[in-house]
Amino acid sequence: MESSSGIPAANNRMSSTVDIQYIKGIGPKRAEVLAKAGLATIEDLFEYFPRRYIDRRQIVPLGQLQTDGEEVTVIGKVEAAGIRYARKRFFYIVIRDETGLLEAIWFNAIEQFKRVFSVGDWVALSGKVSYYRGYQMTHPDFDKLGGAELDHTLHTGKILPLYPGSDMLRKAGINSYTFRRIFFNLLQNHLNIIKENLPEDIVSSRGFLSRRDSFRFVHDPDSGEHLDRGLARLKYEEFFFQQLLFALQRNSSKLKDPGIAFLKPSPRLEGYYKSLPFTMTAAQKKAVKEIRADMKSPHPMNRLLQGDVGSGKTLVATMAMLLAVDNGYQAALMVPTEILAEQHYFNISRALGALDITVRLLRGSTSSRERKDISVMMESEEPMIVIGTHALIQEKISFRKLGLVVVDEQHRFGVMQRASLTEKGINADVLIMTATPIPRTLALSVYGGLDVSVLDEMPPGRMPIQTVWRFDDKASDIYEFIRERVLAGEQAYIVFPLVEESEKMDLKAATESFEKLKKTEFRDIPVTLLHGRLSSEEKETVMGDFNSGRVKILVSTTVIEVGIDVKAATIMLIEHAERFGLSQLHQLRGRVGRGDKKSFCILKTPFNISETAQLRMKIMTQTTDGFKIAEEDLKLRGWGDFFGKRQSGMPAFKLANPIEDRELLNLARRDAFDLIKNDPQLRKEENEGVRFFFIERYQSKFLLSKVS
């Protein structure tokens, strides 16, 4: 049987047929709960990986605890457990080892913890130690230990895996100890269902353990070295199959989807190039070259253009659009907000003024007459550039000759991938711009199906921006500083946070502050307020006034985050900076430092802010490198939150972490792409294991992504 990907179907299934309830340590009741937790088969169980390990060398005797803020692991026997009241009700246990005592306390889920711990249990606790009439841990990570393994852990230096738990599992009496017992049996009796899924030459040339050994050592490590090697192999495997999927997708789109070959030279592009008042950066030149090569080829372009705020992405995109237009096609530039659409329209039509080209702006407030006029042009196949919000694609307006779509995602990620455009019947070349750059290797994993160009160089002559963090009690000093600068001819932004959930209150806070500042510190300075509730015309007037320098201070909610480019603006004051994410703060900061004067970014916060907010402020004061900031942001928020859980196409790894394991990721990518180059349909005998596994696990994703 041949499947539609061209990959021959597997002829034997790898799945085991053993019902997990018959595995020692499980039984029918637990099997049911495990199945509910997504662990229905032996494979599922094997791939339920430890969340952490305890190594005897890391265990600190209770007599040697320190309150130095370091996280430690301790082991002891529960001597007392119960509920007490201080200001609040809490649950406590006291544990003891040969050297001392420690109390652990929990303020929530009290009843549940009461059921978990009994006097006489042996437990491992991990957390930070504090001191209050004795050593304490609040809400530590915990695990129960049992029988022989306790002996092993304490005396023979065995490394103990700790498994992720959940309320449901805990209620059924399934904890790390249970899992360790289950694995004891699985490893003895069922390891043979694990089949090699990498080609032999990769396993040997990369020095990997076999798949079986990897599972063995990950669940029952006999040494740190074996554990590390087992983990490395399994992480590699996750990357490898993800990259294999990308490689296959790429291959099949190159084979099947017809695209446009923009072969004609572009006099407008040349004209624009010659008219530039500056020289392009080497990075811009390289990106344009890459884009031109893509557009020339008959395969649809699928490229991501990454670059920090101010790195000059618009210019690159404009050149691509000119190439499309000179080839007789229409180009669309889609941006996330109307303000940004207007800004782009303003800049681009000014830059292209001498080139005899139609540039139109389409937005919510566009009159129906103009709208009709634009849509008539679009349907007439007239080559042109249309700028609008992302709604452009959803609107009923039909491009007759759409050749290029540029999507500006600004501080979001390149989430609007080709698939969502293809869904709407668009088979144009696609260029996605994002100002939240992530390191190249990461990009390869996240946007694996896209080609990536990077503007890793800023136009010369940019003044550095000095970033400071100040508490609210310094407000009058800050306003005085702004006043002085503005009186000396510079301009300033003051930004207030505004989030959907508390929009009304936020707007009120911004408005009140604005009214107050207007009457006090800035009474003799032209100040205006910009917020999302204003109509397009009002916004335009405000922006125009600030652009021309008539207004000196722009007080605003976050609407200015994107795309505004005023060279005389040198100060960015961010109120309640603790409420912004790192990427947003960085975007806001990117609004200043565009002229030839030294610029400042002031992060103003209350005195008491959360630890992670403090970290964000510190990172902002330490670097202006957008790549670095995105990476820190990713570390702080974690993979899922950073990209947004619901965003499609984002990889979910069980073990691998694209940041920490980027070398493995690189390796896996190279190997997977090489493999598909040599064996595009995985027909070779040596790739049989790869094929079986791919079909079992990834085939459906591959088909899905083809369908959409």
The alpha carbon dihedral of 333, 338, 340, 346 has a sign of positive
Cα dist from 354 to 78, 269, 314, 350, 357, whole Å: 81, 12, 18, 8, 8
Q: Residues 250, 449: contact at Cβ < 8 Å?
A: yes
The answer to the question of residue 313 lying near ligand ADP (CB under 6 A) is: yes
One symbol per residue from 192 to 211: x for binding ligand ADP (CB under 6 A), - otherwise; what is it?
--------------------
State the DSSP H helix or E strand holding residue 159, giving kind and residue range, or none if neither.
Answer: strand 159-162
Q: Which residues contact 650 (CB under 8 A, 6 or more apart)?
A: 446, 639, 643, 644
Q: Which does 452 bind (CB under 5 to 8 A by kind): ligand ADP, Mg ion, none?
A: none
Instruction: Return the number of the residue (150 or 280) whose C-beta is nearest ligand ADP.
Output: 280
Instruction: Return the number of the residue (197 or 570) whose C-beta is nearest ligand ADP.
Output: 570
d(CA 339, CA 389) in angstroms, rounded, equals 9
Q: Which residues contact 492 (CB under 8 A, 6 or more apart)?
A: 482, 485, 486, 552, 553, 554, 569, 570, 571, 572, 573
The answer to the question of residue 435 lying near ligand ADP (CB under 6 A) is: yes
Instruction: Return the number of the residue (405 or 482) whose C-beta is nearest ligand ADP.
Output: 405
The answer to the question of residue 280 lying near ligand ADP (CB under 6 A) is: yes
Q: Which does 311 bind (CB under 5 to 8 A by kind): Mg ion, ligand ADP, none?
A: ligand ADP
Phi-psi region of 144 (alpha: psi -120 to 50; beta: other; left: phi over 0): beta
Q: In this chain, which stretch among 160-168, 307-315, 468-476, 554-562 interacts with ligand ADP, using CB under 6 A? A: 307-315
Instruction: Return the number of the residue (449 or 563) whose C-beta is nearest Mg ion.
Output: 563
The answer to the question of residue 162 lying near ligand ADP (CB under 6 A) is: no
Q: Are strands 302-307 and 429-434 parallel, antiparallel or unpaired?
A: parallel
d(CA 571, CA 492) in angstroms, rounded, equals 5
Count, residues near ligand ADP per rule CB under 6 A:
15
CB of 314 to Mg ion, least distance (A): 5
d(CA 478, CA 452) in angstroms, rounded, equals 41
The answer to the question of residue 73 lying near ligand ADP (CB under 6 A) is: no
Strand partners, 303: 431, 451
Q: Residues 398, 592: contact at Cβ < 8 Å?
A: no
The answer to the question of residue 307 lying near ligand ADP (CB under 6 A) is: yes
Q: Residues 383, 401: contact at Cβ < 8 Å?
A: yes
- Choose which of 140, 310, 497, 593 interacts with ligand ADP (CB under 6 A): 310
Q: Which residues contact 7 (CB under 8 A, 6 or more apart)?
A: 248, 681, 682, 683, 691, 694, 695, 699
Strand partners, 180: none
CB of 435 to ligand ADP, least distance (A): 6
- Choose which of 257, 382, 565, 679 interacts with ligand ADP (CB under 6 A): 565
Instruction: Return the number of the residue (6 or 595) whose C-beta is nearest Mg ion.
Output: 595
Q: Which does 312 bind (CB under 5 to 8 A by kind): ligand ADP, Mg ion, none?
A: ligand ADP
Instruction: Return the number of the residue (231 or 562) whose C-beta is nearest Mg ion.
Output: 562
Q: In this chain, which stretch among 135-143, 308-316, 596-604, 652-660 interacts with ligand ADP, using CB under 6 A? A: 308-316
Q: In this chain, which stretch among 15-23, 52-60, 280-288, 386-394 interacts with ligand ADP, using CB under 6 A? A: 280-288
Q: Residues 241, 693: contact at Cβ < 8 Å?
A: yes
Q: In this chain, which stretch among 64-72, 274-282, 653-661, 679-687 interacts with ligand ADP, using CB under 6 A? A: 274-282
Instruction: Return the number of the residue (355 or 525) whose C-beta is nearest ligand ADP.
Output: 355
The answer to the question of residue 624 lying near ligand ADP (CB under 6 A) is: no
SS3 80: strand
Q: In this chain, which stretch among 66-74, 307-315, 454-462, 638-646 interacts with Mg ion, using CB under 5 A? A: 307-315
Q: Phi, psi (5° rounding) for residue 30?
A: -65, -35
The answer to the question of residue 278 lying near ligand ADP (CB under 6 A) is: yes
Q: Which does 169 bind (CB under 5 to 8 A by kind): ligand ADP, Mg ion, none?
A: none
Tokens of 13: 């299934």
One symbol per residue from 554 to 593: x for binding Mg ion (CB under 5 A), - otherwise; what is it?
---------x------------------------------
Instruction: Return the number of the residue (388 or 689) whose C-beta is nearest Mg ion.
Output: 388
Instruction: Return the number of the residue (252 or 410) whose C-beta is nearest ligand ADP.
Output: 410
Instruction: Return the number of the residue (221 or 310) whose C-beta is nearest ligand ADP.
Output: 310
d(CA 597, CA 605) in angstroms, rounded, equals 26
- Choose which of 161, 165, 312, 448 interacts with ligand ADP (CB under 6 A): 312
The answer to the question of residue 459 lying near ligand ADP (CB under 6 A) is: yes
d(CA 428, CA 544) in angstroms, rounded, equals 34
Q: Which does 449 bind (CB under 5 to 8 A by kind): Mg ion, ligand ADP, none?
A: none
Classify residue 459 by its DSSP letter. P
Instruction: Return the number of the residue (226 or 589) whose C-beta is nearest ligand ADP.
Output: 589
N-to-C CA span, the chain: 23
The answer to the question of residue 463 lying near ligand ADP (CB under 6 A) is: no
CB of 671 to ligand ADP, least distance (A): 34
Q: Which does 534 bind (CB under 5 to 8 A by kind): Mg ion, ligand ADP, none?
A: none
Q: Residues 621, 468: contact at Cβ < 8 Å?
A: yes
Of 570, 627, 524, 655, which is closest to residue 231 (Cα–Cα)?
655
Of 605, 561, 576, which is closest to residue 510 (Cα–Cα)?
576
The residue of the chain with the least Cβ separation from ligand ADP equals 312
Instruction: Return the number of the residue (140 or 310) whose C-beta is nearest ligand ADP.
Output: 310
Of 54, 36, 34, which is closest to residue 46 (Cα–Cα)?
34
The answer to the question of residue 245 lying near ligand ADP (CB under 6 A) is: no
d(CA 200, CA 369) in angstroms, rounded, equals 67
CB of 276 to ligand ADP, least distance (A): 7
- Centroid of chain to Cα 177: 34
- Choose which of 214, 242, 314, 558 interacts with ligand ADP (CB under 6 A): 314
- Choose which of 218, 315, 404, 690 interacts with ligand ADP (CB under 6 A): 315
Count, residues near Mg ion per rule CB under 5 A:
2
Cα dist from 159 to 58, 126, 182, 225, whole Å: 10, 15, 17, 11
Of 225, 232, 181, which is closest to residue 211 (Cα–Cα)?
232
Residue ranges in contact with ligand ADP by CB under 6 A: 278, 280-281, 284, 307, 309-315, 435, 459, 565
Residue ranges in contact with Mg ion by CB under 5 A: 314, 563
